[in-house]
Structure 1
Amino acid sequence: MSGRRVAVHAHPQLPGLALVDAHFVEQHFPKHSHDGYSIGVVRSGVNAFWHRGGQQHAIAGSLCIVNPGEVHTGDTVTPQGWSYFNLLVPELLLQTSRATLDLPAQTLHFGQSVVADAQAATALLVLGQAMLAKDSPLAVEQHWLELCGVLLSRHVSERAALAPVSRMPRQVARAREVLDADLLGQRSLSELAALCHVSPFHLVRSFSAHVGLPPHAYQLQKRLEQAKARVQQGEALASIAAATGFADQAHMSRHFQRQWGVPPGQFAPLRSQPQNRKNVQYR
C-alpha cells in the first residue's frame, strides 16, 4: 500500500460536505452507495469503478459522479493507482445551492458516470485547493457556487435516478420499509422473507436486482450512513458504534475503512473548526 494517502476536509460554510483528498495505490471499494452525491475529479492515474451495470474509467482531468443511492465500486487498474479530490455532498446542500443560483427547480440527477468538462474539473480543483489552504468563508463559498453553476447547468438530466418505491415489486418495497424502520433489527433472512411472503432465495434475488445490494448489505450501508452523520455531529465513537448496531468501535472502524477508505474519526467533527478541520493524513 506504499504511497497511499487519505485526508478529509470540511468547511462550516458548506454544512455536511466532506472533501476527500486521496491517493490510492491498491484499493478496492466493494459495492456500496451514498445517501448524498459523490462528485470527484481525478488528478492523476485512472479511477476504475463499476456503476450502472458497466465498468467506468475516469482518467486524469475528468469527473466521476454518482447520484444518491446508486450502487458502485472503486478500484485501481494501474500500478501507480489514482489520486483525486472527491466531494461527498448532501442532497439538501445541493438543492439549497441550486436555489441560491436561481436555477430551475428539478430533480438533481446527473446523467453520466464520467464527465469530460475542463471548466467543471478546474472549478472542483480550485474548490479543493481552497479548502486545503483554509481560505476564507467568502472564497470557499464562491468557489463552491461556481462549481455548482457549471455542474447544474450542464450535466443534470431530467431522468429520475432511481425507480420510486411504487415501481418496485411489492415484496422488495416491503423489505426495504422493514429495514429502514428498524436498522438495528436482528431479523434473519428467513424472518424478513416471511414478512414479505416470499422465499428467502426469491427475496435476495429480487431485492438485489431492484436495489443493487442484497438485504444484509443494504442494512449495513444504512447503518454506516447513520453512523457517519452522528460522527459529524461530534458524538463519541464508542457510543455511535453501540447505537448503530456495530459490535464495538473497532468493528465500526473496519467498515468505515472499507466504505470510505478512512477511519470514522476523519469525519469528526466536520463543523467544529473555525474554517477547516485539521488536516490529518493516513498512509
Structure 2
Amino acid sequence: MLDHPQIRAWSPALAGIAEVFHARITDHVYPMHTHDSWTLLIVDDGMVRYDLDRHEHGALDQLVTLLPPHVPHNGRSVTPTGFRKRVVYLDSSQLEDSLIGLAVDSPVLEDPLLRQRIHQLHGSLEHAGDELEAESRLALVTERLRDHLQGNVADRSPVRNATIAYRLRDLLDAKFVEGISLQDASEALHVHPAHLVRVFSREFGMGPHQYLTSRRVDMARKLLLSGMPPRLVAAATGFYDQSHFNRHFKRTLGTSPGRYARSAPTDFAQTPI
C-alpha cells in the first residue's frame, strides 16, 4: 500500500516567490514534468534522484539544488524510507531566463552558507508580518545563486557602502511603524536590494528587518509601561497582529508583553531598561 505524501503548500505575500512547498515523500515517483518557475530545493532527510536534460543527478542534505524553468525533470527517493524536502519556486523577476543553460549544466550547488540562508528564508516565510525579513533573505539567496551561475560582481567601496547603510537606517527610522519593503527602499536609494542588506548588516551587525523589529519593540516597551493594553500596542507599533507582536517581543526580551507590563510598580511609572 502506498503512503500518501505529507504536504504543505502556500503562496506567500512576497513578490518573487510563486509557491512554497514542504513535503515528506516515501513511495511517490514524480514523472517527467516542467515548471514555469525556478525550483530551489533543499533536502532535510534522505536523498532524491532525478533526471535533468538526459543526465542523472542527486539531491541530498547539505546541498542546494536549483532546477531551471521549462526543462523537464523527474524525481524519486533513493531509499525505502523516502525523503523530506523544502522548495521555493522563484519567478523570473529573481533569476533571468538567460541563466537557464548555466543551471542545466550545474544544478547542484555545494555551498553551506547558501543552504543556511535558504533555511532561514523558509523560516521567515512561515509567519505573516515578517515580509521585510523574507524579502531581505530572498535578496541574499538570489544574489548568491546568480554568483554561482555567472561569477561574482565586485563590491563597491567601503566609504560608499557605509553611506548607503546610514541612509537606509534613516529611512527605516522614518518608517519603522508603517514599515517599508526592501524593494521600495532599493528604489528610493537607487541601490540593489541584496547590496542594501549586505552593507547594512556589515555596518550595524544586524539585518534591516532586525533593526526595524528592534525599533518597534523599543517603542512597544514605552507604551506598555504607560498603561496601553498589549493588543493596542501591537497595532500602534506596526506589528501584523497580536501573535506577531508577542513572538518578536518575547524573542527580544525573553518575556511576554503582558508580563512586561505587569512588572511595573503600580504606584509609579517604571523606566524601561
Give me the TM-score of the superposition, normalised by structure 2. Answer: 0.50
How far off is 1:141 after superposition?
0.3
Aligned 8 A contact 2:39 2:68 in 1: yes
Aligned 8 A contact 1:9 1:131 in 2: no
Q: Corresponding residue for 2:111?
A: 117
Q: Corresponding residue for 2:99?
A: 108
Residue 151, structure 1, aligned to residue 145, structure 2: yes
Q: Corresponding residue for 1:140?
A: 134
How far off is 1:83 after superposition?
1.0
State how far apart, in whole Å, the 2-side matches of 1:22 and 1:156 are.
31
Q: Residue type matched to 1:145 in 2?
A: A
Change (3 A) 1:3 1:43: farther
Q: Residue type matched to 2:39 in 1?
A: S
Q: Residue type matched to 2:79 in 1?
A: T
Q: Corresponding residue for 2:271?
A: none
How far off is 1:148 after superposition?
1.0
State how far apart, in whole Å, the 1-side matches of 2:16 and 2:66 are.
20
Q: Corresponding residue for 2:122?
A: 128
How far off is 1:19 after superposition?
1.0
Q: Corresponding residue for 1:60?
A: 61
Q: Corresponding residue for 2:25?
A: 24
Q: Corresponding residue for 1:180?
A: none
Change (3 A) 1:135 1:119: farther
Q: Corresponding residue for 2:85?
A: 84
**Structure 2 counterparts to residues 151-190 of structure 1, below 5 A:** 151-156=145-150
Aligned-residue identity in percent: 15
Q: Residue type matched to 1:153 in 2?
A: D
State how far apart, in whole Å, the 2-side matches of 1:152 and 1:75 are.
27
Aligned 8 A contact 2:63 2:111 in 1: yes
How far off is 1:135 after superposition?
4.9
Partner SS for 2:95: helix
Q: Corresponding residue for 1:198?
A: none
How far off is 1:51 after superposition?
1.0
Partner SS for 1:35: coil
Residue 45, structure 1, aligned to residue 46, structure 2: yes
Change (3 A) 1:35 1:156: farther
Change (3 A) 1:135 1:44: farther
Q: Corresponding residue for 1:227?
A: none
Which runs of at least 4 in structure 1 moved beyond 6 Å after TM superposition?
A: none
State how far apart, in whole Å, the 2-side matches of 1:29 and 1:66 are.
14
Q: Corresponding residue for 1:205?
A: none
Aligned 8 A contact 1:51 1:73 in 2: yes
How far off is 1:58 after superposition?
1.2
Cα deviations by residue, 1:116-157 (Å, 9 ceiling, x for unpaired): 111111111111111123351111101111111211112348
Unaligned 5+ segments in structure 2 are: 152-239, 242-273
Cα deviations by residue, 1:202-258 (Å, 9 ceiling, x for unpaired): xxxxxxxxxxxxxxxxxxxxxxxxxxxxxxxxxxxxxxxxxxxxxxxxxxxxxxxxx
Change (3 A) 1:45 1:18: same
Aligned residues: 149
Unaligned 5+ segments in structure 1 are: 96-105, 158-273, 276-283
Q: Corresponding residue for 1:268?
A: none
Partner SS for 1:78: coil
